[in-house]
């Protein structure tokens, strides 16, 4: 099998060529893209391996030229960290894979073995490809790994295309992260198994963090909020377990603790609201709002408020059991049958959480009832106020407030102005909890009423 190797670095080219030859490949070398173009007709190439940054004709331009000629030779790019953003355009033009420097020979060999089938995979419709199911995201501003990378880090170019930007043991300092952010990148991605270990590691860090007085409480609060979101993000796309449930309980408890101690409840809400909408931000937002309303109502003790927070964190987890295209479809665009199926998600969420050992029963009951209305117009059962679980009545209000705040027309509104929308919902929601929510407008320190 013939391989065309293009790199203007003769030393690196020689090393790669020797490795390829040891694997049985027949290698033809080219110093740059111009020389490589003259060699295209010489053989039937199994694959082209090219540096991305080269003088005269760059790797990207070389790829564009051969695609314009109608040549579908699989192409693997070798690139440095700082050039990784250019891969989006290269993927669009039909590059098959990327390897970032430095790399091990085994990594290149693996790409070469896959190269024939890989070309077919990346040209399938993206709706048929679920590569994103194998990754979990972390907001780039909340990425906690230390200078040396413990797990490989990826960028998402599309639902079918992920590219590794940092290897285990590699430096990923703030300067490199800032360089990526300048290109509009919001998230890093880890493979599922690594993400789970990442969560465990951060929980360990968080436990130690509690004892450090030198670290500001604001930073601790931000870290716990980040952990909450990361756990929800993971659990929404994967199986919930007793272990992740315990992580959630620890994280939400300490999030409330630092918010209550530092009088920054509304600041925490606004910081969450600034992120791009996602299940993680929305779930945590509902959780904090529900906690504040519960405390303002004076009907719940500390332990129960934690249950309120936990139920709110998982209130929409039944959506993960629905077809993806349905869970993402606006209700007004659903058919009758689609809407009927969508309205089963409170039951699915209840069943999901009930299957996890140690889940409090009040949490599952609250999730089951969180879309019920006081006037009996809700779902899934259409029961009235007296039959709705008290925590679910709070969840319904909190969910409404978070959803209303996320609307484009309300994006720049303050949370206090969003609360005023409840004045028109007194027939639907519990009047006592509406009253408690409205009191938050004047009481800017609702969580100071207790000590977690």
* pLDDT, tens digit (0-9, with 9 covering 90-100), for 193-217: 899 999 999 999 999 888 888 888 7
Q: Is the pLDDT of residue 2 over 50?
A: yes
Answer yes or no: are the C-beta atoms of 13 and 58 closer than 8 Å. no
Query: Would you place residue 429 in the very low, low, confident or very high pLDDT band (cuts 50, 70, 90)?
Result: very high
Q: Is the pLDDT of residue 84 over 60?
A: no
Strands 2-6 and 45-51: parallel
Per-residue three-class SS string for 252-293: HHHHHHHHHHHCCHHHHHHHHHCCCCCHHHHHHHHHHHHHHH
- What per-residue confidence (pLDDT) applies to 315? 95
* SS3 of residue 372 by DSSP: coil
More confident residue, 132 or 441: 441
- Please compute the mean of the pLDDT values over residues 257-281 and round it to a whole number: 71
- What per-residue confidence (pLDDT) applies to 54? 85
Q: Is the pLDDT of residue 379 over 80?
A: yes
- What per-residue confidence (pLDDT) applies to 426? 94
- Please compute the mean of the pLDDT values over residues 115-120 and round it to a whole number: 55
Instruction: For residue 289, give both structure tokens.
Output: 């709002």
Answer yes or no: are the C-beta atoms of 421 and 405 closer than 8 Å. no
* pLDDT, tens digit (0-9, with 9 covering 90-100), for 17-45: 998 998 888 999 999 888 999 999 888 88
Query: Would you place residue 402 in the very low, low, confident or very high pLDDT band (cuts 50, 70, 90)?
Result: very high
Q: Is the pLDDT of residue 97 over 80?
A: no
Q: What is the mean pLDDT of the chain?
A: 84
> String of b and e for 327-354 (b: at least 16 CB within 10 Å)?
eebeeeeeeeebeeebeebbbbbbebbe
Q: Please give the DSSP secondary-structure letter assigned to residue 358.
A: T
To the question of pTM greater than 0.75 for the whole model, the response is no
Beta pairing partners, 51:
78
Instruction: For residue 242, give both structure tokens.
Output: 């007793």
Answer yes or no: are the C-beta atoms of 399 and 367 closer than 8 Å. no
Instruction: For residue 246, give both structure tokens.
Output: 């315990």
Task: Give CA–CA dist 85/53, Å, rounded.
Answer: 12
Q: Is the pLDDT of residue 101 over 80?
A: no
* SS3 of residue 426 by DSSP: coil
Which residues are CB-contacts of 385 (< 8 A; sequence separation ≥ 6)? 374, 375, 393, 430
Orientation angle between helical segments 265-273 and 217-237, nearest 10 degrees: 50
Task: Give CA–CA dist 425/412, Å, rounded.
Answer: 22
H-helix or E-strand containing 303?
A: helix 302-313
More confident residue, 70 or 226: 226
Task: Give CA–CA dist 312/396, Å, rounded.
Answer: 9
Residue 50 φ then ψ, to 5°: -140, 145
Query: Would you place residue 327 in the very low, low, confident or very high pLDDT band (cuts 50, 70, 90)?
Result: confident
CA distances for 53 relative to 46, 58, 87, 175, 336, angstroms: 22, 5, 11, 21, 54
Which residues are CB-contacts of 231 (< 8 A; sequence separation ≥ 6)? 199, 244, 247, 248, 251
Task: Give CA–CA dist 428/375, Å, rounded.
Answer: 6
Beta strands in 101-210 (DSSP E): 135-139, 153-158, 161-166, 187-191
Q: Is the pLDDT of residue 312 over 60?
A: yes
Which residues are CB-contacts of 194 (< 8 A; sequence separation ≥ 6)? 151, 152
* pLDDT, tens digit (0-9, with 9 covering 90-100), for 143-168: 887 767 888 898 887 777 788 888 88
- List domains and CATH numbers for the chain: 2-123 (3.40.50.2300), 127-193 (no CATH), 210-449 (1.10.3210.10)
Residue 415 φ then ψ, to 5°: -65, -35
- What per-residue confidence (pLDDT) applies to 265? 72
Q: Please give the DSSP secondary-structure letter assigned to residue 126.
A: G
Instruction: For residue 94, give both structure tokens.
Output: 């039909």
Task: Give CA–CA dist 13/428, Å, rounded.
Answer: 70
């Amino acid at each position: 099998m013939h391989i065309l190797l293009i790199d203007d670095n003769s030393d690196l080219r020689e090393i790669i060529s020797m490795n390829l030859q040891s694997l049985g490949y027949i290698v033809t070398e080219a110093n740059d893209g111009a020389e490589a173009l003259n060699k295209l007709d010489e053989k039937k190439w199994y694959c082209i391996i090219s540096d991305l940054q080269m003088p005269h004709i760059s790797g990207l331009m070389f790829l564009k030229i051969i695609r314009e000629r109608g040549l579908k030779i699989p192409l693997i790019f070798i690139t440095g960290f700082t050039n990784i953003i250019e891969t989006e355009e290269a993927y669009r033009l039909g590059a098959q894979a990327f390897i970032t420097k430095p790399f091990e020979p085994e990594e290149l060999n693996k790409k070469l073995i896959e190269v024939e089938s890989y070309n077919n995979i990346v040209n399938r419709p993206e709706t048929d490809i679920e590569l994103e199911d194998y990754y979990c995201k972390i907001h780039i501003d909340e990425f906690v790994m230390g200078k040396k990378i413990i797990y490989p880090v990826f960028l998402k170019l599309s639902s079918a295309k992920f590219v590794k930007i940092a290897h285990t043991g590699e430096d990923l300092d703030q300067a490199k992260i800032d360089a990526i952010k300048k290109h509009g990148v919001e998230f890093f991605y880890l493979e599922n198994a690594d993400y789970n270990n990442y969560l465990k590691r951060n929980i360990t860090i968080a436990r130690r963090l509690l004892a450090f007085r030198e670290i500001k409480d604001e930073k601790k609060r931000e870290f716990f909020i980040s952990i909450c979101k990361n756990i929800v993000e993971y659990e929404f796309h994967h199986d919930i377990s007793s272990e992740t449930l315990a992580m959630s309980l620890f994280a939400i408890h300490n999030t409330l603790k630092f918010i209550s101690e530092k009088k920054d409840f509304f600041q925490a809400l606004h910081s969450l609201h600034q992120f791009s909408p996602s299940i993680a931000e929305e779930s945590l937002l509902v959780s904090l709002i529900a906690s504040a309303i519960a405390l303002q109502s004076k009907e719940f003790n500390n332990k129960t408020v934690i249950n309120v927070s936990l139920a709110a964190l998982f209130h929409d987890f039944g959506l993960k059991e629905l077809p993806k295209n349905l869970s993402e479809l606006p209700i007004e665009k659903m058919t009758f049958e689609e809407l009927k199926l969508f309205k089963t998600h409170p039951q699915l969420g209840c069943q999901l959480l009930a299957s996890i050992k140690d889940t409090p029963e009040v949490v599952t009951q609250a999730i089951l009832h969180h879309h019920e209305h006081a006037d009996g117009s809700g779902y899934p059962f259409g029961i009235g106020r007296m039959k709705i679980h008290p925590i679910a009545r709070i969840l319904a209000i909190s969910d409404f407030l978070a959803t209303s705040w996320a609307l484009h027309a309300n994006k720049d509104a303050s949370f206090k102005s969003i609360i005023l929308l409840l004045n028109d919902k007194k027939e639907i929601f519990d009047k006592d909890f509406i009253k408690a929510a409205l009191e938050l407008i004047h009481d800017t320190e609702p969580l100071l009423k207790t000590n977690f």
